[in-house]
Amino acid sequence: MLLKCPLCDKKLLKQGLKNHILNKAEAEAYKHANLLAQMVYSAYCPSNAKVYDAFGGGGTRGFIASMMGHKYLGVEIRNEEVDRIKKRQIELGHKFEIICADSRFYPILEDAYDFAFSCPPYYDLEIYSKMEGDMSNAQTYEDFLAMLRQSLEITYKGLKKNALCIWVVGNFRPNRGKGELTHFNGDLVRLGLDVGFKLHDEVIFWGGSDAAAQRAGQFVANRKIVRVHESLIIFKK
């Protein structure tokens, strides 16, 4: 029996439908990340900038930076993710620097970068690996914040005076959405100020999707809204 995809009305057999929905949700998230990166570079990044990204996984910020004429360097702890991005660079014909390292200890050149743009792990919301140093694998949220502070400190060191540093973050519920709402945005602001940044601005952006709309009914069950927004926390050195 054919079943209808709730996102696009395509009809598929039960086995195929699950993969189809996952791929569609992923494609939507990818398109969204591309657009966001374009908007951020256009609005905030000086031309021909040297850009630093403490969490280069995904590659989106690197590809868009390179397509827009910037010189980007991303740090990513997982070897396989670095290899995947390098393969994708060949396919897309766009080169940028992506280094396999723990961004807490990256030996950054001081006062060298014009702009920083990053999207860190949201603690255990998505576990990337079991590697030591992978922040999504931290034992507690407090350990995670202490690790993140180290990467923020390195980013601060690498930026030129008055340079902007933009982080895409959002509040979340740990333990696969079962935990209490965790105000990650507020914690990141506190860490940023602590390492020396000034808080320049905060932008809330809508990242709603058909997939989120499909989950809206869960509000009735638990009185917890489906989050369709994230924030840009904008620091200045």
Per CB under 6 A, residues contacting ligand SAM are: 33, 55, 57-58, 60, 75-78, 81, 102-104, 119-121, 128, 133-136
Minimum distance, C-beta of residue 52 to ligand SAM, in the bound complex (Å): 12
Contact (CB, 8 A) for 170 and 237: no
C-beta closer to ligand SAM: residue 17 or 175: 175
Minimum distance, C-beta of residue 59 to ligand SAM, in the bound complex (Å): 7
User: Which residues neighbour 60 within 8 Å (Cβ) at sequence distance 6 or greater?
Assistant: 30, 33, 34, 37
Q: Burial of 161 by CB count in 10 Å (0-12 exposed, 13-18 middle, 19+ buried)?
A: exposed
C-beta closer to ligand SAM: residue 55 or 113: 55
Name the helix (H) or strand (E) containing 199. Answer: strand 198-206
C-beta closer to ligand SAM: residue 127 or 216: 127
Minimum distance, C-beta of residue 24 to ligand SAM, in the bound complex (Å): 17
Alpha helix segments (H runs only) across 121-183? 141-158
Alpha helix segments (H runs only) across the chain? 14-44, 60-67, 79-92, 141-158, 184-195, 210-215, 218-222
Tokens linked to 220: 């009735």
C-beta closer to ligand SAM: residue 10 or 88: 88
Minimum distance, C-beta of residue 91 to ligand SAM, in the bound complex (Å): 17
C-beta closer to ligand SAM: residue 102 or 114: 102
Minimum distance, C-beta of residue 146 to ligand SAM, in the bound complex (Å): 12
